[in-house]
């Protein structure tokens, strides 16, 4: 449980993180930090081939080592767990130990448990595996990879078709057509993938960094055939996730089974290289984009076809042309998505999973179209701003893309740009200025929360929210302080535990909206209860309209300014302690959303899928690159992003998220790629030395502008969420800046020196 010390902070004010002191002092315990008496240590053995069968596993040498307690393989425990639900919810997942079958490189094939980590590591090295290896398909263009339309694999998938896109493209006076690609990327959160399981009687406690404690609980209950009430999942702090800790993975059930067999707690911290294959990643994508326009720059056709690599058993895909199809007001639109099934681990959510790769393609193509039209790229986007969403013709709850473009352009100094590629120089450095638009749906999930308010003016908020570094602890305290009229240091926040009221998944940029709205409602319920009791006959505010009573400065305040201390008002309701259990099922979510979220399922109103309206946050990103004339070294001295994302609960944490997204975008555009050996379908650079990410010196000034926006239609607090919006346009903004600097259009990420030489 976390509480603040420090100044008051209401909704919209820049409150410091209330979990900050615990984190910087080391008091915050991440799941693997939690000490357990008598714990045993697990180490994973993973497959050295990508496709085939295990002929035999020789455990003799491993078992003979002192301290080795148990070794789990498909031969002794394979039937004891069902597969977890697949990411994305479609197809099948594998338990990885269910049989001798190898689906992908680095698949878990054994779990070694020992008295010490060192003994487990040594024993894992002594496990001898004989394989019957088959030639694997690594991905695109690999023999044996199976290409399939997404709509064949996922009946709910819709490709878009509006008007006559082919006809319009044929006859249009100005057009561009190009192919783009993005590479495999891995999240690499600083905190490794870890699981500790402990049984007490028949009750299982799981400590694991996860973005959804009820989701993990439900998956494990299903996998192990247990009553969910017998499982507790605890995840108080998460050291980075970005989607990689969103869907249940196959490791947790095996650690639970290991702990059950040994009757003692078992702790696993998977190695960094294993994180590349036992968790998810962003799959490589390919895009074919066709844009057509009139001579004055009005879009006449948008065609966006995508291809994504996925695994054999699971058709996971992101289909981001759902967003690119509705970004601009074109009368003719078509999209199509294919998956390419290969012998690979199943991909999964990674920051703005659909938008990041697909907007790279669209927003690069828009830049190419601007050049073909000789129209300024900002002007082209403004010309084609969609008044209503063009696919299903729904109004936006609010749309301030143009304001974002204008604010960011002004701050960046865009008016000083010479549009001719290669025209701006500083000595040996070619200077490029590029921009792109960003959009991300405003999602909100069902949630529940408990609020305890006591006579001394202290409040406690309890809900199974998750803070993946985003600021959940802090915004919850702010909302409660604001709505209860209490200083923020009177609010205690307890989250990250499936024994608390369910609060959904911290992903899809929905969580801030979900948890702030349910807590605001709980506070309002509390205020109404207190006000009703205070206005009954014979009470101080008798005869006053209860709706007119406010909670402020630790008192109940009447419309005439009369005050009564909160403690006295509370004693009338409940003898000093008021406890509220609040449910919130947002408009547009499934009608049984609250039950769903309690059962660990998805229950979200998605801004892209609402019947009568479209709810999106928007942004615009501007980037300066400098490319050395001789060496083609690429630097990014500055980036400016402006974002309109509804109500900002806390500008400090929101800015951090948007800035982090922008930096990741620079990283994705210029650095990151997981390399695969195409013969063996194995990842090669599974470490932080060879998987490139930027350091401080690689990222110059990053400025975030929060464009004021009031949206009363997306949800009562008007919160759109900012977890993902910040990354969305960055890949294209960087690529467009490189094209402006050099005259060279790089359509395949990451952009590296060798492509420019």
Pick the catalytic residue from 158, 177, 724, 754. 724
Is residue 356 within the footprint of ligand MOS (CB under 6 A)?
A: no
Collapsing DSSP states into helix, strand and coil, what is residue 427? coil
Is residue 660 within the footprint of ligand MOS (CB under 6 A)?
A: no
In the structure encoding, which two tokens stand for residue 523, read together? 């506070």
Is residue 281 within the footprint of ligand MOS (CB under 6 A)?
A: no
Residue 403 Cβ vs ligand MOS, minimum distance, rounded to whole Å: 25
Is residue 319 within the footprint of ligand MOS (CB under 6 A)?
A: no
Residue among 110 and 507 whose Cβ is closer to ligand MOS = 507
Is residue 246 within the footprint of ligand MOS (CB under 6 A)?
A: yes
Residue 399 Cβ vs ligand MOS, minimum distance, rounded to whole Å: 22
Residue among 247 and 551 whose Cβ is closer to ligand MOS = 247
List the beta bridge partners of residue 112. 43, 71
Cis peptide before 59 (omega within 30 of 0): no
Residue 505 Cβ vs ligand MOS, minimum distance, rounded to whole Å: 8
Is residue 507 within the footprint of ligand MOS (CB under 6 A)?
A: yes
Neighbouring residues of 38: CB distance < 8 A, sequence distance ≥ 6:
264, 265
In the structure encoding, which two tokens stand for residue 651, read together? 């500008």
Tell me if residue 363 is catalytic.
no
Is residue 243 within the footprint of ligand MOS (CB under 6 A)?
A: yes
Residue among 137 and 601 whose Cβ is closer to ligand MOS = 601
Assess contact for 614 and 607: CB atoms under 8 A: yes
Which of 189, 209, 275, 353 touches ligand MOS (CB under 6 A)?
353
Residue 609 Cβ vs ligand MOS, minimum distance, rounded to whole Å: 15
Is residue 87 within the footprint of ligand MOS (CB under 6 A)?
A: no
C-alpha dist (Å) from residue 569 to 488, 542, 558, 560, 642: 20, 12, 12, 17, 45
In the structure encoding, which two tokens stand for residue 245, read together? 């800790």
Assess contact for 386 and 323: CB atoms under 8 A: no
Count of residues of this chain found to bind ligand MOS when the rule CB under 6 A is applied: 10
Which of 15, 62, 69, 350 touches ligand MOS (CB under 6 A)?
350
Is residue 349 within the footprint of ligand MOS (CB under 6 A)?
A: yes
Residue 132 Cβ vs ligand MOS, minimum distance, rounded to whole Å: 36
Q: CB under 6 A: which stretch of 172-180, 251-259, 344-352, 411-419 binds ligand MOS?
A: 344-352
Residue 349 Cβ vs ligand MOS, minimum distance, rounded to whole Å: 4
Residue among 366 and 722 whose Cβ is closer to ligand MOS = 722
Residue 724 Cβ vs ligand MOS, minimum distance, rounded to whole Å: 6
Please give the residues from 671 up to 710 whose contact with ligand MOS meets the rule CB under 6 A. none
Residue among 169 and 242 whose Cβ is closer to ligand MOS = 242
Which of 96, 137, 211, 517 touches ligand MOS (CB under 6 A)?
211
Whole-angstrom Cα distance, residue 93 to residue 75?
19
Q: Using CB under 6 A as the criterion, what x/- string covers residues 457-496 for binding ligand MOS?
A: ----------------------------------------
Which of 508, 641, 718, 750 touches ligand MOS (CB under 6 A)?
508
- Cα angle 368, 370, 372 (rounded to 5 degrees) comes to 70
Question: Counting Cβ atoms within 10 Å, is residue 567 exposed (0-12), middle (13-18) or buried (19+)?
Answer: middle
Other Cβ atoms within 10 Å of 117 Cβ, number: 15
Question: H or E element: which one contains 45?
Answer: strand 40-46
Other Cβ atoms within 10 Å of 396 Cβ, number: 22
Please give the residues from 28 up to 47 whose contact with ligand MOS meets the rule CB under 6 A. none
In the structure encoding, which two tokens stand for residue 564, read together? 């009564």
Question: Counting Cβ atoms within 10 Å, is residue 99 exposed (0-12), middle (13-18) or buried (19+)?
Answer: middle
In the structure encoding, which two tokens stand for residue 38, read together? 């008598």
C-alpha dist (Å) from residue 580 to 230, 444, 461, 658, 750: 25, 22, 10, 34, 51
Q: Which stretches of 226-347 are assigned E, i.e. beta strand?
A: 231-234, 266-269, 285-293, 299-311, 333-342
State the catalytic residues: 724
Residues that bind ligand MOS (CB under 6 A): 211, 242-243, 246, 349-351, 353, 507-508
């Amino acid at each position: 449980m976390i509480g603040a010390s420090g100044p008051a902070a209401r909704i919209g004010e820049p409150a410091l993180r209330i979990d900050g002191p615990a984190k910087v002092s080391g008091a915050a315990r991440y799941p693997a930090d939690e000490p357990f008496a008598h714990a045993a240590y697990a180490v994973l053995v993973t497959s050295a081939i990508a496709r085939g069968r295990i002929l035999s596993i020789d455990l003799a040498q491993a078992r003979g080592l002192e301290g080795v307690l148990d070794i789990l393989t498909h031969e002794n425990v394979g039937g004891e767990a069902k597969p977890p639900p697949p990411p994305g919810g479609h197809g099948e997942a594998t338990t990885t130990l269910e049989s001798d079958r190898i689906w992908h490189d680095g698949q878990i094939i054994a779990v070694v448990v020992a008295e010490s980590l060192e003994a487990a590591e040594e024993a894992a090295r002594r496990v001898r595996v004989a394989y019957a290896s088959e030639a694997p398909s690594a991905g695109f263009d690999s023999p044996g990879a199976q290409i399939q339309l997404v709509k064949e694999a996922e009946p709910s998938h819709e490709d878009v078709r509006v008007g006559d896109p082919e006809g319009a493209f044929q006859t249009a006076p100005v057009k561009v057509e190009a192919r783009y690609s993005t590479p495999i990327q891995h999240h690499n959160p600083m905190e490794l993938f870890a699981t500790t399981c402990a049984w007490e009687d028949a009750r299982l406690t799981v400590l694991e960094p996860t973005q959804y404690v009820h989701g993990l609980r439900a998956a494990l209950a299903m996998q192990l055939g247990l009553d969910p009430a017998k499982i507790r999942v605890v995840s108080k702090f998460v050291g980075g996730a970005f989607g990689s800790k969103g869907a249940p993975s196959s490791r947790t059930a095996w650690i639970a089974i290991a702990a059950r067999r040994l009757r003692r707690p078992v702790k696993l911290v998977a190695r960094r290289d294993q994180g590349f294959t036992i968790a998810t990643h962003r799959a490589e994508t390919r895009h074919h984009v066709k844009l057509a326009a009139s001579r004055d720059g009005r879009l006449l056709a948008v065609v966006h076809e995508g291809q994504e690599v996925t695994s054999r058993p699971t058709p996971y895909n992101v289909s981001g042309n759902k967003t690119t199809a509705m970004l601009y007001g074109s009368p003719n639109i078509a999209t199509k998505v294919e998956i390419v099934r290969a012998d690979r681990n199943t991909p999964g959510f990674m920051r703005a999973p659909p938008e990041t790769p697909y907007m790279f393609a669209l927003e690069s193509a828009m830049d190419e179209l601007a050049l073909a039209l000789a129209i300024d790229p900002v002007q082209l986007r403004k010309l084609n701003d969609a008044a209503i969403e063009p696919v299903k013709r729904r109004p936006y709850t609010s749309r301030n893309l143009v304001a974002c473009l204008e604010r960011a352009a002004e701050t960046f100094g865009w008016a000083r740009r010479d549009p001719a590629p290669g025209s701006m120089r500083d000595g040996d450095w070619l200077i490029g200025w590029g921009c792109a638009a960003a959009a991300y749906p405003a999602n909100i999930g069902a949630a529940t929360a408990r609020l305890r308010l006591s006579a001394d003016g202290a409040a406690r908020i309890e809900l199974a929210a998750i803070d993946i570094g985003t600021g959940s602890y802090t915004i919850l305290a702010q909302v409660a302080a604001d709505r209860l009229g209490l200083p923020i240091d009177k609010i205690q926040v307890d989250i990250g535990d499936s024994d608390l009221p369910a609060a959904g998944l911290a992903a899809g940029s929905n969580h801030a909206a979900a948890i702030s709205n349910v807590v605001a409602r709980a506070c309002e319920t509390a205020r109404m209860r207190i006000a009703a009791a205070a206005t009954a006959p014979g009470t101080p505010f008798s005869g006053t309209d209860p709706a007119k009573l406010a909670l402020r400065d630790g008192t109940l305040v009447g419309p005439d300014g009369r005050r009564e201390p909160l403690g006295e008002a509370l004693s009338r309701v409940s003898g000093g302690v008021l406890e509220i259990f609040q449910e919130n099922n947002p408009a547009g979510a499934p009608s049984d959303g609250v039950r769903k979220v309690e059962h660990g399922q998805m229950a979200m109103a998605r801004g892209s899928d609402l019947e009568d309206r479209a709810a999106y946050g928007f942004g615009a990103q501007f980037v300066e690159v400098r490319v050395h004339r001789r060496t083609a070294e690429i630097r990014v001295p500055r980036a400016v992003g402006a974002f309109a994302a509804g109500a900002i609960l806390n500008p400090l944490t929101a800015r951090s998220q948007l800035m982090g997204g922008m930096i990741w975008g620079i990283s994705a555009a210029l650095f990151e790629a997981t390399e695969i050996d195409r013969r063996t379908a194995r990842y090669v650079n599974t470490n932080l030395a060879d998987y490139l990410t930027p350091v401080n010196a690689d990222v110059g000034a990053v400025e975030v502008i929060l464009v004021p926006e009031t949206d009363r239609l997306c949800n009562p607090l008007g919160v759109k969420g900012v977890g993902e919006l910040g990354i969305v346009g960055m890949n294209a903004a960087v690529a467009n800046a490189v094209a402006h600097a050099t005259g060279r259009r790089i359509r395949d990420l990451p952009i590296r020196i060798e492509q420019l030489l």
